[in-house]
Amino acid sequence: MSATAAPAIAVRGIEKSYKDLHVLRGVDLEVQRGTVFALLGSNGAGKTTLVRILATLLKADAGTASVGGLDVAKQSAQVREAISLTGQFAAVDERLTGRENLVLIARLRHLRSPGAIADELLARFSLTEAGGRKASTYSGGMRRRLDIAMSLIGNPSVIFLDEPTTGLDPEARQEVWETVRQLVGEGTTVLLTTQYLEEAEQLADRIAILHQGRIIVDGTLAELKKLLPAATVEYVEKQPTLEEVFFALTGGGTDDTTDAATAQR
């Protein structure tokens, strides 16, 4: 199978242990190109360990894995050129401005016109007006958007988002969701780990549940729902959710200027 015909991510029988702790016990999964694949699991299920193996940061004890048709163990340098990893905490330098963070990464990747790359990404992520401010003044949502923008420098074909909305408020979480939808709409493949079930429902084309070191189910949301008995239809008065109340009262948007002023207090 050629690299272009291969799945974006293919995992076969991956195992990983830390001394006597067996974290991954034979994981199998495939992620098709241009889709969002959500990996669910409780704390300690092995989600981050699997992502670190796919990102060439850890070596598996057994099994094989490929990203974009490239073997993560044998072709790690090429894999690193084709991917980007965004962890649970935004990896921005708060002493630099938003634009300076982007320029720095572009220079580290030895790309031409780092300033032009930074300006394009600031515009793409609605951060142009904030680009000249230090990242320390950014709200949580703005900081995460900048972090994802930094991960896109070099046009990676696959992005790993490891619990990207941990600790964010509802509005900031919505901002990240819109960013992910935009990326996939442009052809990027996203592997998303999350503990938020609603996040997987909103974003994922396919969902897998990692439990006790193995994938116990893998399918679309509709397929997963069919695993339970059919729902009994009853009349229930629908009450608004707390999230709906929150967005109704706040207008459902963010004001970067207000966020920055709040962050500086």
Tens of pLDDT along 165-220?
Answer: 887 788 878 888 888 898 899 899 999 998 888 899 999 999 999 998 999 999 99
Query: Residue 93 pLDDT > 90, yes or no?
Result: yes
Between residues 126 and 35, the one the model is more confident about:
35
Band (pLDDT 50/70/90 cuts) for residue 46 is very high
Angle between helices 140-151 and 98-108 (to 10 degrees): 20
Average pLDDT on 76-105 reads 91
Spatial neighbors of 235 by CB under 8 A, at least 6 apart, are none
pTM, to two decimals:
0.80
Q: What is the pLDDT of residue 132?
A: 97
Q: What is the pLDDT of residue 264?
A: 46
Angle at 50 between CA 226 and CA 208, to 5 degrees: 5
- Across the beta sheet with 189-194, what order do the strands follow? 83-86, 158-162, 189-194, 36-40, 206-211, 214-219
Query: Residue 257 pLDDT > 50, yes or no?
Result: no
Q: What is the pLDDT of residue 263?
A: 45
Spatial neighbors of 175 by CB under 8 A, at least 6 apart, are 141, 144, 145, 254
Whether 214 contacts 50, CB under 8 Å? no
Domain 9-264 fold is: Rossmann fold (3.40.50)
158-162 vs 83-86, strand pairing mode? parallel
Q: What is the pLDDT of residue 175?
A: 82
Query: Residue 21 pLDDT > 70, yes or no?
Result: yes
36-40 vs 70-71, strand pairing mode? unpaired
Band (pLDDT 50/70/90 cuts) for residue 1 is very low
Percent of the chain at pLDDT > 90 equals 58
Band (pLDDT 50/70/90 cuts) for residue 249 is low
Rg (CA), the chain: 20
Average pLDDT on 106-113 reads 93
Q: Provide the H-helix boundaries in the chain.
A: 47-54, 76-82, 98-108, 114-124, 140-151, 170-185, 197-203, 221-225, 242-250, 256-264
d(CA 86, CA 122): 18
In degrees rounded to 5, what are phi and psi of residue 175?
Answer: -60, -45
